[in-house]
Amino acid sequence: MGRERIETHRAFDLQLIKRISQNWQFLVAYTATKNSTLVGHPSNRAASLEPNQEINTGDHTTQKTFRISGLYRLPYGMSVSANFNSESGAPQARQVLLRGGVQIPNIVLNATPLGGVFLPTTNVVDLRIDKAVTLPGHQKVSMRVNFYNLGNASAITAWQLRSGATYLVPTSVLRPRIAELGFQYQF
């Protein structure tokens, strides 16, 4: 019989919203989530001891997210909207590769508690510009330009966690600035 995984998450969420009126809308949101993840349970005495599942795997970290978004309607069917998103980096742990066992010849274990290392916070701004034109017969043409990652942020999204010469060497970063042009026809 294996050990149970017990998870609790406590969150604080605050949002301020201004609905669309007088040609603009706005949203500000902040969320903080305290995680508590444990392997095993003290009342489960019959559970087998599996230390490989318990070593430095409990998540006792707090994740934070902050968002701002807004829209403004300009004259002549144009609108501009922007989003800013900031997310704290994911909790991680330094890992080691252990070799030489008989039953388990190779195993990777966390050498530090989960949350000993965090990925960097990501801050991304996206922007959209729209223009809509109404045509006869209830037809409409819309054109838009989207800019993703407008500030060209290059935060690390993954890195090598195994101890050694490549420890914390980035393996992935945010996608670069991207511009997208779109058209929509309604009839």
Which pLDDT tens digits describe the chain residue by residue (187 residues)?
445 557 788 999 999 999 999 999 999 999 999 988 765 545 444 444 556 666 677 788 899 999 999 999 999 989 999 999 999 999 999 999 989 888 888 888 888 888 889 999 999 999 999 999 989 988 999 999 999 999 999 999 999 999 999 999 999 999 999 999 999 999 9
Phi then psi for 183, rounded to 5 degrees?
Answer: -130, 145
CA distances from 147 to 11, 15, 162, 186 (A): 31, 25, 36, 23
Domain boundaries, the chain: 5-186
Tokens 């996608």 belong to 175
Task: Enter the pTM of the model.
Answer: 0.79
